[in-house]
Amino acid sequence: MSLDASVFLVNVPALNPRSDPDAPAGVRFLNPGVAAGENPRLFRPCGLPMPEKTVAAMMAQFAVLARESRSVADLSAFAPGAREDFHAGTSFAIRDAITAARQGREREIKIKELLATAQTELCLAWVLEENALELAGLQDAFGEQWSKFEQDLGLADGKTPDEDDSLTEAMPDFVVSPQKPKASVLVDAVLAFLPEGCGLYSSDAALVSDWEEYGAHFSPAEPEILARFGLAGSFRQAVVPAHLLCLSKRPDPYKPWHAGERLVIAPLEE
């Protein structure tokens, strides 16, 4: 299947291909409007509510906060302010609000606001992934230095210096555990920009388990479905109401992407 086809699968919860390098080649990743260079696996939706310059400014602040914050909760506390600063306070948003009041289009404006919120959540998730990849790189580099340290001391050969037994301890975690946004929030945001007919792919066991708890019934993927999305191997599929994929028992009337059903593909359990 060509990656330029109009119907495809989008990976969740990872947005960056480097975060899930084992995802099948036919699966794409959602770019929330960041400057990520040319990558055929990245899908950038049309009509994103915030322009690229606004996204760049917001992401720069998120990057600083991701390094300074100890938890996603700290970042989440900032996110609503980011949406207000970067979207609601713009001349475009003010103009839309005035026009909506005159023409009775409040619902339309509410949907636009929620789309801006969804894009903000995706941008935050993108920054957190970039930060996690950076931390993983630091941990790997530290691991290489630790292995060299062990070899220099003869620990790799099972030799323990008598004068300091503490050197036999396992390599410590040099970096803290990366922050991750709620998968259900991220899925909701992805669905907001997912074209009609496109589905989701996930190899995240915890997320798939949550979907099953909310009523997703998986069965072995049909050969024609696999062929349609250019997949080869053992997979399972389910067709699930979109709002359940967001772990919401009821669809939000202000979120049109909660309506209808979506195909979900996941690796077949061994």
More confident residue, 74 or 54: 54
Tracing tokens 């606004």 back to the chain, one arrives at: 54
- pLDDT(195) > 90: yes
Query: Does the residue 34 lie in any domain?
Result: yes
| 112 belongs to a structural domain | yes
pLDDT of residue 145: 53
pLDDT of 178? 58
Report yes or no on 26 lying in a domain: yes
**Pairwise CA distance, residues 159 & 175, whole Å:** 28
Across all residues in the chain, what is the average pLDDT? Answer: 81
* Calpha distance 129→121 (Å, rounded): 12
Rounded percentage of the chain residues whose pLDDT exceeds 70: 72
Contact by Cβ (8 Å): 65, 74: yes
Please indicate, yes or no, whether the overall pTM of this predicted structure exceeds 0.85.
Answer: no
Is residue 12 scored above 90 in pLDDT?
A: yes
> Which residue in 238, 190, 187, 255 sits closest to 43, CA to CA?
190
Q: What distance in Å separates the CA atoms of residue 206 and residue 26, rounded to the nearest whole number?
A: 22
Average pLDDT over residues 140-145: 49
Is 187 a member of any domain? yes
**144: in domain:** no
203, part of any domain: yes
For residue range 78-100, list pLDDT tens digits in order. 554 444 445 556 677 677 777 77
pLDDT score of 163: 47
User: 236 is written with which tokens?
Assistant: 């399972």
Residues 6+ apart with CB under 8 A from 102: none
Residue 110 sits in which domain range? 9-131+178-267
Q: Is the pLDDT of residue 127 over 60?
A: yes
* Predicted confidence band of residue 63 (pLDDT cuts 50, 70, 90): confident
Q: pLDDT at position 167, please?
A: 44
Q: Is residue 126 part of a domain?
A: yes
Total number of domains constituting the chain: 1
- Nearest CA to 48 out of 122, 119, 124 is that of 119
Of 25, 26, 29, the residue nearest 12 (C-alpha): 29
**Which long-range contacts link 41-45 to residues 24+ away (Cβ below 8 Å)?**
41/3, 41/17, 42/17, 43/8, 43/10, 45/193, 45/194, 45/195
Query: Higher-confidence residue: 97 or 254?
Result: 254
Spatial separation of the C-alpha atoms in residues 30 and 185, rounded to whole Å: 14
Helix, strand, or coil here: 10? strand
17-21, 38-42, 133-137 — which one is most confidently predicted on average? 17-21
Question: Rounded mean pLDDT of 143-171?
Answer: 51
| DSSP letter assigned to residue 237 | E
Q: Is residue 199 part of a domain?
A: yes
- 179 with 128: CB under 8 angstroms? yes
Task: Indicate if the pLDDT at residue 20 is higher than 80.
Answer: yes
